[in-house]
């Protein structure tokens, strides 16, 4: 029953030319299949040999590569390689390390499948040119270990270029694009006292126009012979080595073509205050930045030697909060000079050279706990913008210019406009610095949220017309003129009520202060010379940088307002005399009362005696 149907299926082969055509097609298909099988069997060893030879020669035997199998699809122009493993040769590495020739970075790579498309196998065999349109590595696992073996490329045993090393086997290598998706990276840093391990996920790498030939062997515009290498990382989370900070990056993108690093959504959050200050005597920082951009970043030198070189770092829209350690200990005599910017920069584990840091629209808060008031006060600097110049630790750069400067504009307590200029000496053993600035008009009661808990003073009324300062300091002391012009100053002195956890006004002390101590205007009368004060502030060893700044300024503000030691002592004397007079008045009153009571008692005794004598019994 099926034979007629089968016969009908081949009715189109009735003609002789049809049967000949069918035979030719079948022969071609068979030849292609046989050729593909033969090529796979023949080319796989050739490919393996070429790849292993290229890797070994270009790395001077430091790296070995292996894979389980390879498939060549001639018609599609595709090669698929399975289970690739790239590993360093431990013997070669140890030998080079002993001669200080080993690289600082070692790489291990495992890829389950590598796809090379748009290849030209005959060019590889006959012309010794390896040309590939695209290379895709599926879910590669990458391990990089860093150990500082040398700081410069001063001694090399083979100064030939990569092209010169492979020229006997290949005339050129060209790859249109290389794509590594969903990379798992483990980074081990052995450069410090403690091994630091970072693990990255959700990372993508891509490289375009890789070309190794006689023309590009000395082309410095290419990195690793690629026109551009782009690394992108999403949703990265990590912790500091101390475990006190957790940081997060929403997106990071690096392009070697533009030499630009872009970061969006950066946060660094410390652990809870109780835990932080229980483990550390340092100040507590919180960072939030909408975006960070690093221009002309020399990625290759950073990768090789941890030298951080760039032209400009741009910080856009965010907040920085500083909380001064509230637990000073008499036993803790640590010199907090390490919090000075020109000291802190030298503690970084890298050679740094950064021409400019540009700050745009940052809010900066400094919070301190006052033991006397049992309260915290916060000084705020809102919408801060400006530039910092010559941030460096490189010896060569410091020899040319050892001064770092900063020009910033901010709004103090979100009210008064403050322009300030900083200068830091990066080479001075005493870590000298200077700062000068000008604060515009503002109402004093608006800063009560800070001065009440920090200074235990409340501004009832008062308007600042201008505030100027020019301070020069170092690790030991700060000196310089301070001038503040104001009108209608009235203050209240506060006292801590520990029972109710509040601050109460000291009525008598406030009255005496307003009457006998403070000057209500500066200058006292229009046309007179305003008061100013030359500060000499001795820095305690335990005072950090930001606290030193505002304590120095406060030491100048008080005398400008008439709050001098002499005036305070005089007021204290008046208060003491008043108290003594009041006590004296109370004492005399009590004595008179006592004498009246004694006289009354005697009169009553006399009456009783007379009554007894006049009685019949008498």
Instruction: Say if residue 576's pLDDT is above 60.
Output: yes
b/e 267-292 (16+ beta carbons within 10 angstroms → b): bbebbeeeebbeeeebbbeebbbbbb
Q: 542 is written with which tokens?
A: 């335990």
Q: Is the pLDDT of residue 22 over 60?
A: no
Please check the confidence at residue 346 and state whether its pLDDT lies above 80. yes
**What pLDDT is recorded for position 6?**
47
CB 430 within 8 Å of CB 475: yes
Contacts of 78 (CB under 8 A, 6+ apart): 72, 115, 116, 117, 118, 119
Q: How confident is the model at residue 1 (pLDDT cuts 50, 70, 90)?
A: very low
Residues 6+ apart with CB under 8 A from 413: 379, 380, 382, 442, 446, 447, 449, 450
**How confident is the model at residue 463, as a pLDDT?**
95
- Beta bridge partners of residue 319, listed in sequence order: 288, 363
DSSP 492-531: EEEEEETTTTEEEE-HHHHHHIIIII--SSBSSSTTSPPP
Cα angle 419, 364, 483; round to 5: 35
Phi, psi of 570 (to 5 degrees): -65, -45
Q: Are the C-beta atoms of 218 and 161 separated by less than 8 Å? A: yes
Checking if the pLDDT of 17 tops 70, the result is no
- Residues whose CB is less than 8 angstroms from the CB of residue 203 and which lie 6 or more positions away in sequence, other chains included: 182, 183, 184, 185, 231, 232, 233, 234
Per-residue pLDDT, 130 = 82
Q: Which residue has the higher pLDDT, 224 or 595?
A: 224
Q: Is 47 helix (H, G, I), strand (E, B) or coil?
A: helix
Q: What are the CA-CA distances from residue 391 to residues 17, 260, 397, 547 (Å)? A: 85, 18, 10, 23
Mean pLDDT over residues 78-86, rounded? 84
Per-position DSSP letters for 564-604, written without gaps between them: -HHHHHHHHHHHHHHHHHHHHHHHHHHHHHHHHHHHHHHHH
Q: What is the mean pLDDT of residues 452-459?
A: 86
Mean pLDDT of the residues in the chain: 82
Minimum mean pLDDT range among 23-37, 126-140, 375-389, 456-470: 23-37
User: What is the pLDDT, as a whole number, of residue 209?
Assistant: 92
Contact predicate 184/145, CB 8 Å? no
C-alpha of 368 from chain center? 21
pTM here?
0.77
The pLDDT tens digits for 516-543 are: 678 899 998 988 999 999 999 999 988 8
- Exposed/middle/buried for residue 208 (C-beta within 10 Å: 0-12, 13-18, 19+): middle
For residue 353, pLDDT over 90 is answered with yes
Q: Is the pLDDT of residue 509 over 90?
A: no
Give mean pLDDT, residues 128-136: 87
160 pLDDT tier (thresholds 50, 70, 90): confident
Q: What are the C-alpha distances in Å from 421 to residues 330, 425, 434, 469?
A: 35, 14, 8, 10
In the structure encoding, which two tokens stand for residue 389, read together? 């110049």
Six-digit token string for 420? 């300030």
Which has the minimum average pLDDT: 87-101, 338-352, 455-469, 592-606?
592-606
Q: How far apart are CA 155 and CA 64, in angstroms?
A: 24
Most confident of 29-33, 69-73, 287-291: 287-291
Q: How confident is residue 332, by pLDDT bands cut at 50, 70 and 90?
A: low
Q: Where are the domains of the chain?
A: 32-152+160-233, 565-607
Strand partners, 352: 308
Q: What is the pLDDT of residue 501?
A: 63
Spatial distance between the Cα atoms of 457 and 375, rounded to a whole number of angstroms: 13
Range scoring the smallest mean pLDDT among 45-49, 272-276, 503-507: 45-49
Q: How, if at all, do strands 351-370 and 307-323 pair?
A: parallel
Write the burial class of residue 69 (CB in 10 Å: 0-12 exposed, 13-18 middle, 19+ buried).
exposed
Instruction: For residue 59, say if its preceding peptide bond is cis, omega within 30 degrees of 0.
Output: no
Mean pLDDT of 548-571: 79
What pLDDT, on a 0 to 100 scale, did the predictor assign at position 2? 47
pLDDT in tens, 372-430: 888 888 999 999 999 999 999 999 999 999 999 999 999 999 999 999 999 999 999 99
35-78 pLDDT tens trace:
455 445 555 565 556 667 767 776 778 888 888 877 777 667 78
**Which 3 state secondary structure label does DSSP give 379?**
strand
Instruction: Determine the pLDDT at residue 158.
Output: 63
Spatial separation of the C-alpha atoms in residues 277 and 575, rounded to whole Å = 40
Neighbours of 477 (CB within 10 A): 15
Over residues 10-31, the mean pLDDT reads 53
pLDDT for the residue 562: 79
- What mean pLDDT comes out for the span 580-594? 65
pLDDT tens column, 210-257? 898 888 888 888 888 889 999 999 988 888 878 899 999 999 999 999
Q: How confident is the model at residue 615 (pLDDT cuts 50, 70, 90)?
A: low
Query: What's the rounded Cα separation, in Å, for the pair 525 and 431?
Result: 42
The residue that leads in pLDDT, 602 or 206, is 206
Report residue 139's pLDDT band, with 50, 70 and 90 as the boundaries. confident
pLDDT tens digits for range 161-179? 778 878 887 888 889 999 9
Greater model confidence, 60 or 481? 481
Residue 597 has pLDDT above 60, yes or no: yes
Sign of the dihedral through C-alpha 471, 472, 477, 479: negative
């Amino acid at each position: 029953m099926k034979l007629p149907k089968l016969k009908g299926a081949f009715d189109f082969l009735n003609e002789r030319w049809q049967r000949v055509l069918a035979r030719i097609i079948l022969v071609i298909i068979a030849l292609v299949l046989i050729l593909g099988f033969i090529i796979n069997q023949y080319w796989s060893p050739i490919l393996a040999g070429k790849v292993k030879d290229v890797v070994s020669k270009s790395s001077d035997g430091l790296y070995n590569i292996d894979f389980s199998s390879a498939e060549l699809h001639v018609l599609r122009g595709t090669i698929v390689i399975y289970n690739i493993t790239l590993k360093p040769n431990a013997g070669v590495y140890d030998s080079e390390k002993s001669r200080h020739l080993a690289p600082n970075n070692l790489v291990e790579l495992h890829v389950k499948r590598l796809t090379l498309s748009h290849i030209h196998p005959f060019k590889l065999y006959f012309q010794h040119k390896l040309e590939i349109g695209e290379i895709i590595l599926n879910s590669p696992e990458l391990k990089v270990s860093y150990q500082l073996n040398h700081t410069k490329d001063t001694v090399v045993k083979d100064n030939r270029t990569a092209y010169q090393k492979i020229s006997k086997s290949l005339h050129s290598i060209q790859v249109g694009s290389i794509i590594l998706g969903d990379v798992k990276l483990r980074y081990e840093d052995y450069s410090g006292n403690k091994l630091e391990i970072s693990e990255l996920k959700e990372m993508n790498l891509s490289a375009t126009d890789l070309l190794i030939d006689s023309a590009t062997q000395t082309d410095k515009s290419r990195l690793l012979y690629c026109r551009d290498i782009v690394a992108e990382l999403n949703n990265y989370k990590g912790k500091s080595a101390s475990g006190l900070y957790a940081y997060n990056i929403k997106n990071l993108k690096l392009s070697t073509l533009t030499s630009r690093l872009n970061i969006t959504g950066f946060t660094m959050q410390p652990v809870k205050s109780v835990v932080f200050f229980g483990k550390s005597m340092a100040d507590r920082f919180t960072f939030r930045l909408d975006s960070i951009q690093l221009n002309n970043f020399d990625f290759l030198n950073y990768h090789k030697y941890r030298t951080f070189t760039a032209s400009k770092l741009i910080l856009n829209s965010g907040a920085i909060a500083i909380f001064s350690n509230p637990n000073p200990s008499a036993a803790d005599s640590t010199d907090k000079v390490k919090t000075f910017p020109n000291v802190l920069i030298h503690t970084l584990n890298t050679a740094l050279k950064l021409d400019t840091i540009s700050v745009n629209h940052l809010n900066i808060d400094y919070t301190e706990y006052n033991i006397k008031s049992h309260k915290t006060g916060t000084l705020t600097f809102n919408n801060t913008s400006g530039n910092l110049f010559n941030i460096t630790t490189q010896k060569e750069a410091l020899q040319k210019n050892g001064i770092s400067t900063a020009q910033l504009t901010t709004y103090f307590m979100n009210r008064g406009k403050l322009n300030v200029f900083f200068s830091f000496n990066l080479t001075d053993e005493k870590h000298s610095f200077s700062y000068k600035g000008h604060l515009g008009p503002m109402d004093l009661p608006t800063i009560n949220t800070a001065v009440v808990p920090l200074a235990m003073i409340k501004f009832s009324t008062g308007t600042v017309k201008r505030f100027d300062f020019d301070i020069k300091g170092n690790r030991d002391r700060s000196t310089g003129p301070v001038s503040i012009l104001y009108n209608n100053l009235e203050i209240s002195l506060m006292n801590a009520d520990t029972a109710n956890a509040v601050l109460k006004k000291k009525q008598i002390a406030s009255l005496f202060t307003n009457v006998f101590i403070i000057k209500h205007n500066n200058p006292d009368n229009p046309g007179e010379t305003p008061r100013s004060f030359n500060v000499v502030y001795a820095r305690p060893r335990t005072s950090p940088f930001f606290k030193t700044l505002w304590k120095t300024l406060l030491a100048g503000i008080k005398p400008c307002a008439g709050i001098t030691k002499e005036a305070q002592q005089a007021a204290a004397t008046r208060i003491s005399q008043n108290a003594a007079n009041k006590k004296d008045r109370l004492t005399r009153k009590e004595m008179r009362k006592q004498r009246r009571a004694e006289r009354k008692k005697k009169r009553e005794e006399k009456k009783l005696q007379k009554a007894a004598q006049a009685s019949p019994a008498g």
